[in-house]
Structure 1
Amino acid sequence: MDLKDQLKNLFPDHVPEEPQKEAPQSDLWLQDSPMICKYEKRKGKPITIIEGYTGADSDFKKLAKELKTRLSVGGSFKNDQIIIQGDYRDKIMEILKEKGFNVKRVGG
């Protein structure tokens, strides 16, 4: 007798609910034109810059925070750009594509 059978004996009137499918996270505004992901060196340190988002600044800040936490790196949001410390272009592009954004890689 497994756990489901035991629960049915204890609660005969209970009807189990079907698990709900997760809806894609669309709390951010998705745009048609691609965002630009590029690599630079400033003061000898590598950085990744994401720019070209045409939505609200608050949505872009949320995206910056999520990228920083998922990559476990530092960064900032300035002048309509997300600046991530280090060269994480490939990982950032994968994360943005998962969310439904079009991303264009610029530079090497």
Structure 2
Amino acid sequence: MDLQDQLKNLFPDHAPSEPVENDSESSGIWMQNDPIICKYEKRKGKPITILEGYTGTHDDFKALAKDIKTKLSVGGSFKDDKIIIQGDYRDKIMKMLQDKGFKVKRVGG
């Protein structure tokens, strides 16, 4: 007897609702029409990846920055409407953003 059968025995009058699908695009992050610019720079001899051009809210962009830093296990910051990631992770970041439904444009090599 699985959990559904046990629940039906306990609550015979209850009608189960439709299951909610967890979709990556329903995460609450606003999608945009313009591409996010992903560029590479060196500052003080160390490589960094910069993401800019997001037109959504400040909190959504900050949440996106935290998600990228967590998935890549790298350091970074969010300043002046730009996400700065330590290291050259352009390919991985672009793949992650495209999987979420964003358009990404690679700039600088």
Q: Shared fold by TM > 0.5?
A: yes
Q: CA deviation at 1:19?
A: 6.3
Q: Residue 25 of structure 1: CA displacement?
A: 3.3
The aligned counterpart of 1:22 is 22
TM-score, normalised to structure 1's length? Answer: 0.81
In the alignment, the residues of structure 1 paired with residue 87 and residue 17 of structure 2 have an alpha-carbon distance, to the nearest angstrom, of: 46
Aligned to 2:51: 50
Corresponding residue of 2:81: 80
1:73 CA displacement: 0.1
Pairwise CA distance, 1:22:
2.9
**In structure 2, what is the Cα distance between the partners aligned to 1:32 and 1:86?**
27
TM superposition outliers: structure 1 runs of 4+ over 6 Å: 16-19
- Which residue is 1:41 aligned to? 42
Letter matched to residue 87 of structure 1: D
- 1:62 deviates by 0.3
Unaligned runs of 5+ in 2: 3-15
For structure 1, the residue ranges without an aligned partner over 5 or more in a row are: 4-15
Which of 1 and 2 has greater Rg?
Answer: 1
Verify the 8 A CA contact 1:25 1:99 in the aligned structure 2: no
Q: How much has 1:17 moved relative to structure 2? A: 8.9
Identity %: 69
Q: Distance in 2 between matches of 1:49 and 1:90?
A: 12
Q: How much does 1:58 deviate? A: 0.6
| Count of residue pairs the alignment pairs up | 106
Query: Retained in 2: the 8 A contact 1:48–1:85?
Result: yes
Q: CA deviation at 1:84?
A: 0.1
Q: Is the 8 A contact 1:37 1:103 kept in 2?
A: yes
